[in-house]
Amino acid sequence: MEFATFADRAGTIDAEPADLEIVAHVRELLAEAGDESEERRSSGAAGEPQTLEIVARFAQGRVFPAWDSTTLDIGPSACYEAIARAAGTNVSSDDVEDRLAEIGEIGDVAASYDFGGQQGLGAFTGGGADDSGGDSSGGLTVREVYDTLEELAAAEGSGSQDRKVDLLFGLFNRCSSEEARYLARIVLSEMRIGVGEGTVRDAIAAAFNVPEDRVERALQVSNDYGQVARIARDEGVDGLDALDLAVGRPVQAMLAQAGTVTEALEEWEETGVEWKYDGARIQLHHDPGDSGPAGESAAETRVFSRNMEDVTEALPEVVEFAEETLEEPAILDGEVVAIDEGGSPLPFQEVLKRFRRKHDVAKAREDVSVRPVFFDCLHADGEDLLADPLTVRHDRLRSVLVGADSDPESADDEDIEGLSLLWRTDDPDEIESIDADALEAGHEGIMLKDPDSAYSPGRRGKHWRKRKPDVETLDCVVTGAEWGEGRRATFLGTFELSVRAGDTLETVGKVATGITDEKLAELTELLEPHIAAEEGQEVDLEPAVVFEVGYEEIQSSPTYSSGYALRFPRFQGVRHDKDPDDADSLERLERLRGH
Ligand code: AMP
């Protein structure tokens, strides 16, 4: 498929307001990309994704499957530079940034340049020759774009950033305006044509005539829209049903809503109750493997964050725990908590000192140690458990964790290391006392869970509810900041906070207080790479970082675009474990205000 065709279809989808129509357009796009003669014409090497798979991902602005930790690792400024170079000798990346500040969206900016004059250069600059066989137009194909982006992602080491810019330049150089628009958006993960996960699910079902719920299940276990589209086309429902979880390939985490004990008891009669640990979410994948001839272990262990990022290297304690305890292949869901020397939990901020760390892990481990606690089991010994009720999964979790040394029948749950206890009750007093114990032991409070509910990956459903004891905080996206004055001139401060409102972000206030110089330096380092535009002391930030903020009140106010303002906002910490998409919504703000 030509990239121009993809861009044309993306343009149609972009202009379409009605959801049902969007699904119909995506269905056509997938059918077109998945056409057999199309696949033959543009087939890649064996093992390479097919055009259909690439298109299913591109439509959502993805290059790689959701489970894959590979990233392009290219920042906005490198992308601006590639655009500037392709746009001609008289355009600089500053010009591109200026235009971005004016127009506001990178796709529109890319489309506003005329790259056509330089087409002839494309073949010499890393864009690759046109290998699409009998295609006479000489234009880019979807496969070429993918292959180049794959090469770009793989570039590592010294000079790799220049190489990435060269590769991207080679692509832009061969783009029409419309192609450039969608290339820029794919590269910066800002596709935003209204194609969400549900849209692709429904479109796959319609294009290849398979039921939506089976596509949904296949997506949950595989986390790969491309693969699911291909299997739906080639193998139909049977192929989809045969897809299973794989140890080593992360699954989206099931999420919780805020809720009350009253609601839980009204809806479920009995509720599951667990301690809520104040740490960072982890998903442990462990395969003990077969031990080698000399008894050496062939175990494979990977640990993923709630965003499916591989954090194994940062958490050796979790790997050691898995190797010592688990005797069967398993996927476990839990939390990693920082602990003091006596084993008591430390606040969330401490775990963040360890969570994504890539360097000096051994040294960091001396300062703060962590331990895992598991509350769910998604897979054990070849068996997927997603569809089983919570209580069944928890029993399986217990048996996986009980270890070889203890008698599984008589072992006391409290003595099973790494097991989060699950109570089941309809007695509010018992729930209060579990809550009090949790707080007493230094934890955050309790979670209420529907004992009969299945595990729904990626869902913020009603089946898991979190109950926090203190005033609710808000997780806001940082969308702007100001350079400080005097002593603080090199620090960003006065951070502009926003909440999600559909696909956009709306401001709710600014937070400046409660931040030490040391913290400001750290925040500046974190936010500086995300500066999208600058004017005087003010900077615009692309949405990337989420702050947890406390406040005294939510007031209605014309000052901010949400129509509300946080009164006395206080910085509580960075939610490194959350993406802008996981930040709080305007709806939640309004609900909190109502309380
Ligand atoms: P929040 O991050 O405030 O949305 O709260 C939900 C998070 O609490 C989950 O994503 C987990 O990381 C964490 N958590 C702590 N203890 C539990 C538990 N027992 N069950 C489920 N989630 C838990």
Of 164, 276, 449, 510, the catalytic one is 276
Superfamily of domain 3-187: DNA ligase, ATP-dependent, N-terminal domain (1.10.3260.10)
In DSSP terms, which residues pair with 377 in a beta bridge? Answer: 332
CA distances from 419 to 331, 373, 455 (A): 14, 6, 18
Decide: 58 and 186 in contact? Cβ < 8 Å: yes
**What's the pLDDT score for residue 313?**
95
The answer to whether the CB of 306 falls within 8 A of the CB of 266 is no
Q: Give the mean model confidence (pLDDT) for residues 295-323.
A: 92
Of 131 and 439, the one with more pLDDT:
439
3-state class (DSSP) for residue 355: helix
518 labelled ligand-binding: no
Q: Is 375 annotated as a binding residue?
A: yes
Contact of 132 with 42, CB cutoff 8 Å? yes
Considering only CA atoms, which residue is closest to atom 18 of ligand 1?
Answer: 276
Residue 121 predicted with pLDDT over 80: no
Pairing mode, strands 570-574 and 546-550: antiparallel
Q: What are the structure tokens assigned to 16, written together?
A: 């379409």
> Taking a C-beta distance cutoff of 8 angstroms, is the pair 529, 468 a contact?
no
Closest CA to 141 of 20, 230, 47, 55: 55
Mean pLDDT of 189-200: 93
449 Cβ inside 6 Å of ligand 1 = no
Which amino acid makes up residue 224? D
- More confident: 269 or 337: 337
Two structure tokens written together for 290: 């077969």
Average pLDDT, the chain: 90
Where does the chain hold its CATH 1.10.3260.10 domain(s)?
Answer: 3-187
* CATH 3.30.470.30 residue ranges for the chain: 255-467
**Phi and psi for 4 in degrees, rounded to 5?**
-60, -40
442 Rama sector, left if φ>0, alpha if ψ -120 to 50, beta otherwise: left
Give, in order, the Cα–Cα distances in Å from 120 to each of 64, 138, 178. 30, 10, 19
CATH for 472-594 is 2.40.50.140
Q: Between these two residues, 595 and 253, which has the higher pLDDT value? A: 253
Is residue 195 lining ligand 1, measured as CB closer than 6 Å?
no
CATH 2.40.50.140 placement within the chain: 472-594
Distance CA 529, CA 225 (A): 30
Q: What percent of the chain has pLDDT over 90?
A: 72
Q: Which residue is listed with tokens 């390939």?
A: 249
pLDDT score at 488: 85
Ligand 1 centroid vs 465 CA: distance in angstroms?
9
Within 13 Å of residue 104, how many CA atoms lie on the same side as its CB?
1
Cα separation of the two ends of the chain: 53
CA torsion sign, 122 to 32 to 180 to 70? negative
**Ligand 1 centroid to 335 CA: how many Å?**
7
- The runs of H, that is alpha helices, within 441-577 are 517-527
**CB distance 276 to ligand 1 below 6 Å:** yes
CB 277 near ligand 1, within 6 Å: yes
Beta partners for 510? 496
Could you give the CA distance from residue 223 to residue 238 in angstroms, rounded to a whole number? Answer: 18
* CA of 567 relative to ligand 1 center, distance in Å: 27
Least confident residue range of 6-20, 58-72, 107-121, 574-588: 107-121
Q: What is the average pLDDT across 423-443?
A: 86
- What's the pLDDT tens digit per position in 398-407? 999 997 666 7
CATH of domain 255-467: 3.30.470.30
Residue-level pLDDT at 570: 75
Q: Is 476 exposed, middle or buried (0-12, 13-18, 19+ CB in 10 A)?
A: buried
What does the pLDDT look like over 509-562, one tens digit per residue? Answer: 998 855 778 889 999 999 999 999 999 999 999 999 999 997 767 889 999 999
Least confident interval from 136-145, 203-212, 237-246 = 136-145
Spacing, Cα 145 to ligand 1 middle (Å): 39
pTM as predicted: 0.74
Give the DSSP per-residue string, 119-148: GGGGGGTTS-----TT--S---BHHHHHHH
Longest dimension (CA), the chain: 78
Backbone torsion region of residue 43, taken as left when φ is above 0, otherwise alpha when ψ lies between -120 and 50, otherwise beta: beta
Residue 468 annotated in active site: no
* Residue 298: pLDDT over 90: no
| Long-range contacts from 550-555, C-beta under 8 angstroms, 24+ separation | 550/471, 550/473, 551/473, 551/474, 551/509, 554/589, 554/592, 554/593
For ligand 1, the distance from its centroid to the CA atom of residue 472, given in whole angstroms, is: 15
Best mutation site among 275, 335, 500 for ligand 1 pocket (most ligand atoms within 8 Å of CB) = 335
Q: What 3-state DSSP class applies to 68? A: coil
Angle (nearest 5°) at CA 518 between 553 and 347: 60
Is there an atom of ligand 1 within 6 Å of 466 CB? yes
Q: Residue 511, Cα to own-chain centre: how many angstroms?
A: 25
Q: d(Cα 22, Cα 419) in Å, to the nearest integer?
A: 45
